[in-house]
């Protein structure tokens, strides 16, 4: 029973990343194996350096991946790729990870991936905080739902934010041909 409680505690720690209302970016370099893949799969966007190596190798050590890779990866890379990684426990390169959709972009080295992640974070942060968080909420809510259900959810979400200060600021900035200054209200 103590082992199960320990696993549940670790699962919660990884799930808290996925549940964060703000976008979470992973900048990956070097080895990303087991729990590293669990953590990366809980992130919204994954970037890697060319030297990154990925592996879901729990089967090689006689256990089943239990912190979320088997639940999250099928939505990211598809069942077939997950099955291949999880059943074989083999390593894949950053280039292969990009090819199957595990990472969005591959950078030359560790410094470049960190710079790339910071640049993307700054680009995201330049948008309305309400819209960014709303987009993440709508994407999350749409998982496992029909298109019609997802459209209904986003209609309700946007109806609540059509009078936001950020929307007014976006329109004013557009008309004045200046960058918006969002306040998250």
The domain spanning residue 6 has which CATH number?
A: 3.90.226.10
Pairwise CA distance, residues 56 & 79, whole Å = 14
Lowest mean pLDDT among 22-36, 82-96, 124-138: 124-138
What does the mean pLDDT of the chain come to? 91
Residues 95 and 162 in one domain: no
The domain spanning residue 171 has which CATH number?
A: 1.10.12.10
Residues 52 and 117 in one domain: yes
Number of neighbours of residue 45 by Cβ within 10 angstroms: 17
Residues 120 and 172 in one domain: no
Pairwise CA distance, residues 133 & 141, whole Å = 12
Tell me the pLDDT tens digit for each residue of 63-113.
888 888 999 999 999 999 999 999 999 999 999 999 999 999 999 999 999
- Domain span holding position 166: 129-176
Q: Provide the pLDDT for residue 112.
A: 98
Residues 107 and 155 in one domain: no
Per the structure, the count of domains in the chain is 2
- Which of 74, 56, 55 is closest to 65 using CA atoms? 56
Residues 95 and 133 in one domain: no
Q: Backbone phi, then psi, for 45, in 5-degree steps?
A: -135, 135
Evaluated on CA atoms 72, 73, 79, 85, the torsion sign reads negative
pLDDT band at 24 (very low <50, low <70, confident <90, very high): very high
């Amino acid at each position: 029973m103590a082992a199960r409680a320990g696993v549940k505690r670790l699962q919660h720690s990884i799930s808290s990343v996925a549940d964060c209302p703000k976008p979470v970016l992973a900048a990956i370099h070097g080895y990303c194996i087991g729990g590293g893949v669990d953590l990366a799969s809980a992130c919204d966007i994954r970037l890697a350096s060319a030297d990154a190596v990925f592996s879901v190798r729990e089967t090689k050590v006689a256990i089943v991946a239990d912190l979320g890779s088997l639940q999250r990866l099928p939505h990211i890379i598809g069942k077939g790729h997950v099955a291949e990684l999880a059943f074989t426990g083999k390593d894949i390169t950053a280039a292969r990870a990009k090819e199957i959709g595990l990472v969005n972009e591959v950078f030359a080295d560790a410094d470049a991936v960190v710079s790339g992640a910071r640049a993307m974070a700054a680009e995201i942060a330049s948008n309305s905080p309400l819209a960014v968080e709303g987009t993440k909420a709508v994407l999350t809510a749409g998982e496992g739902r029909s298109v019609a259900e997802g459209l209904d959810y986003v209609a309700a979400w946007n109806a609540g934010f059509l009078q936001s200060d950020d929307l007014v600021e976006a329109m004013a900035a557009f008309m004045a041909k200046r960058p918006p200054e969002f306040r998250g209200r």
